[in-house]
Amino acid sequence: MFNSGEGNGMEPKYLLIVKVVRGLAVRDTPRPESQGAKLIRNMPVGSQLYAYDIHHFENVPYARLVPLNAQRPEWVRVAEADNNTVYVDVIELETKDSMSALADAITLLATAIREAAHKA
């Protein structure tokens, strides 16, 4: 179903749903812009992203995304180091079957987040 283009056909482990009203920056490396990371694109609240894994860099969780371009890695910050600010809801994907079973629930959740953000 998913293919990273890296030649290994690795499946994503997580579905991320953007929950911050201002949106989420997708960058080329797991670090902030102030440390040289380049912005690839911004994702609006309610957007869905698939991730292979979540890594901690300098105590900050970043998700390695399934990229749009297999030759260009993509990363997003999951939360601040203290976890008081969480940027995405993380849903663990158990199997391929769970992805289809979660599809309706995810769509409803993303819609609810989008509607709540626009009311705020």
For the domain that residue 93 is a member of, what is the CATH number?
A: 2.30.30
**Residue 79 has what DSSP assignment?**
B
- Entry pTM: 0.72
In order of 17, 21, 40, 86, 113, the CA distances from 118 in angstroms are 16, 8, 25, 19, 9
Of 66, 48, 44, nearest to 103 (Cα)? 48
pLDDT digits (tens, 9 = 90+) for 34-72: 999 999 999 999 999 999 999 999 999 999 999 999 899
The total number of structural domains in the chain stands at 1
Q: Quickly state the pLDDT bin for 2 (edges 50, 70, 90).
A: very low
Which of 2-11, 17-26, 41-50 has the weakest average pLDDT? 2-11
User: Which residue segment(s) compose the domain that 52 sits in?
Assistant: 14-113
Residues of the chain with pLDDT > 70, as a percent, come to 85
Residue 102 is predicted with a pLDDT of: 67
Where is 103: in which H helix or E strand?
helix 96-119
Is residue 1, in this structure, part of any structural domain at all? no
Residue 77 resides in a domain: yes
Residue 119 lies in a domain: no
Decide if 78 is inside a domain.
yes
Please give the average per-residue pLDDT across 96-115, as a whole number.
Answer: 73
